Chain A
Amino acid sequence: MILQYNIGGNSGYSIQYSPFFDNRLAVASGSNYGLVGNGKLFILDIDERGKIKENNIFITQDCLFDLSWNELHENQVLVAQGDGSLRLFDTTLQKYPIGIFKEHKKEVLSCNWNLITKGTFVSSSWDGAVKMWSPLREQSLLTLLPKSSEQSSKINHNQIAKIPPHVNNNQSTPILQNKDCVYQAQFSPHDNNLIACCSGNSYITLFDTREQNNRFNNNSFIAHSGLETLTLDFNKYRPTVLASSGADNSIKIWDMRMIRNNNSNNTVMPTSNPICMNEIRKAHDLAVRRVVWSPHQSNLLLSTSYDMTSKVWKDFSFDGSKITGKTNSIDPGSGLIKTFHHHTEFVFGADWSLWGQPGFIATTGWDSKVYIWNCFYP
């Protein structure tokens, strides 16, 4: 059983189930593939007969790249907009936002509500900054700068430049483009002070919002061997575990406990890396846009990709109670549970349903489609 909805000529970038209503979804989209033109926020309801219906829409001046439901208010949705602003909409009203948060200088690429305090949200932008906000204030509470390319230029030379020392690949040009662009920032669902973000310079950076001197925050590491890290997600059950993916087509699962601060000597290695517990190599044929851990199982995650598929994976490095030391490479199918083939364009947004039977997933992409499917159904 697959549910389908057409968002009429708009390209879907992000989708999220309401944390309050089991039949409600929000979709962030942009016209003209999100490259230029208006954005459109869809509020969709699933009726008793399993049909997806439009509950409300909001048209914005620029494309929308991400959204996040307000965890405190059942009718409020936040969107990340291409003009550098974040907008908060009340789904019971029409047309206009109830809040505008504009500080970012370029496209806002992600937004995420704090699941613990529920009173703050975080945004990340192409301008290289991560900002923390309160819906009650127009100005941001905090601006965080992950390791920028200038700071890491030496490291780039030492590490990234050497990536193909022995080989046949010509990947040297794209590596450092969009270098400071922060594709995603997310609050930890376990610690309300912890923010993780990932950037075009391949770095994942961790921030503790209580730390004073975030400017030189060094809790960062190259996650995808110099290629752009496009997405990350905190595991909902394991506080120290993070999944990430990006332009190297592989999904990595990290245990963050090994990061050490290494301020004194920034000429050598950036920091000692956290442990990469598992890597699903060639998870997709093209770059991966989103990884999301299951809300029901600690070792299940989904991914979406430019290769027009969405896939669900079992993480072999964890058996539900302990670290196994295994990697997905030992499985003939690399731990693949399900491939969803119905999209006919790049798949960008995806979310697991918190509701009902485990395994329901909503996806959206450039083909103007919203699909709801279950990864456990044949």
Chain B
Amino acid sequence: MSERLQSVSNHLQASISNSVGFVCPTKKNPDDVVIIQAKRSAIAKGFKGSFKDLNTDYLLQQFLIEFLKTLPDNLKSNPRLIEEIVCGNVLNYGAGATEHRSACLAAGIPYTTAFMALNRQCSSGLTAVNDIANKIKTGQIEIGLALGVESMTKNYASVNPLGRISEEMKINKEARKCLIPMGITNENIAQQFGISRKEQDEFAANSYKKASNAIKNGLFKNEILPIKTPDGKIVTIDEGPREGVTADSLGNLKPAFIKDKGSTTAGNASQVSDGVAGVLLTRRSVAEKFGFPVIGRYLAFQAVGVPPEVMGVGPAYAIPRVLKDVGLTIDNIDVFEINEAFAAQALYCINKLGIKREKVNPKGGAIALGHPLGCTGARQVATIMNELKTNQIGVVSMCIGTGMGAAAVFIKE
């Protein structure tokens, strides 16, 4: 009798403890949102790099042509299966709704594939991934492509957000905080949380070191697709990282935002860049139906609001929030790709969350590689998919101008 009773009791116990949500990297469910492909272009230097004469639509078209080539045959020959494309972009008018739709058509995507332009500032590329993932989750679409593209060269100077804001916003105490230049928000963080110039320069120099090592050792090869410029040049190598950057050499630079007292310089802030990246997502049941290879799994995403005057703290709030959703802790994460908008804000977030330094941006971040705004989130996903080993868990996060943070969790398969 006792054995039979024990058996029933075991069934109940197991099913009760199992009802607590948990993440198991090896447990694959048919309703998982999975990544079939994640690629990016090389990130070119703004104003003087290889993409300086190219519009975003051209970059996008060239990228999509190459991206389609990497897809499984049955998808390549039938791109109609991609039901929706969401493209993140910050600086183009209307986030590039017109020219990027046309770039898709030019690249051979059929007109039946719906297109959406999306702008949530620096998180646009990651928010595009989230948007596609949600549509897959609800069954609205089966296969979708999240993109991010930016030419800061072409559009950075032409956009003046301050020009579009009414007097009423400018005199409102809260509203006008959204107008604070990004550099100043970073100075606020450095000052408020006591992050020294030296620490920032060391962090930046380390980013350069990691990035140039990664390039030297060909660690980006798997994630970069070649972009052919109109003059026939093929661009495959990131242009931001330079060798021999040290904390000392960065120490000579003058503060860029607050003369004399400031600590944010061109050397410890993210670079102005041009680039494009894409992440193709589907449901596992669909991937299995078509036999698509799966490289990773999307778990969750969250965006949170933070005070606009210290917008750089975003990841420090977005990361715990998204980890709570999936029942994980900082220690469970193997790699963090946290966008280095500025060294001070990145340092603040890393220290506040107690993340081990070696887990963060192992191949360098935006300080060395560049931060093509709308592209960055998708770029980080492509990077982290190559950094993680099978069954490892990664977090992609960034701060967002006007006061937000975004973070997403991925598992490599």
A residues neighboring B (CB under 8 Å): 34-36, 82, 107, 159, 162-171, 173-175, 177-178, 181, 225, 227-228, 230, 247-249, 275-279, 281-282, 284-287, 306, 317, 323-331, 346
Contact = CB atoms under 8 A, between A and B. Distances in A.
Given A225-B24, A287-B11, A317-B285, A329 B18 contact: no
Interface string B18-42: 1110111111111100000000000
Contact of A330 (B16, B137, B288): B137
B4 A247 contact: no
Nearest 6 pairs between A and B by C-beta? A330-B139, A329-B31, A247-B14, A327-B31, A287-B15, A167-B22
Contact of A165 (B11, B25, B137): B25
B27 A227 contact: no
A287 B11 CA distance: 6
Contact of A181 (B7, B8, B328, B329): B7
A300 B7 CA distance: 29
8 contacts: A171-B18, A225-B27, A228-B11, A247-B15, A281-B29, A285-B19, A325-B285, A326-B139
A286 B24 contact: no
Nearest to A107: B4
A35 B4 CA distance: 6
B138 interface: yes
A276 B15 contact: no
A76 to B, nearest CB: 27
Contacts, number: 139
Nearest to B4: A35
B1 interface: yes
A326 B22 contact: no
Given A228-B10, A327-B283, A170 B29 contact: no
B99 to A, nearest CB: 33
Given A107-B4, A171-B18, A159 B26 contact: yes
A174 B10 CA distance: 6
Contact of A327 (B25, B26, B30): B30
Contacts of A225: 24, 27
Contacts of B16: 286
B294 interface: no
Interface in B342-399: 393
Contacts of B7: 177-178, 181
A259 B283 CA distance: 21
Given A225-B27, A326-B285, A177 B6 contact: yes
A149 B383 CA distance: 41
A151 B10 CA distance: 22
A171 B328 contact: no
Interface string B259-303: 000000000000000000000000101101110000000000000
A163 B24 contact: yes
Most buried by B among A166, A169, A279, A331: A166
A335 to B, nearest CB: 11
Nearest to B282: A325
A166 B328 contact: yes
Interface string B139-154: 1001000000000000
Contact of B11 (A34, A162, A306): A306
B19 A249 contact: yes
Contact of B18 (A165, A247, A275, A324): A247
Given A166-B328, A227-B14, A287-B11, A277 B19 contact: no
A163 B289 contact: no
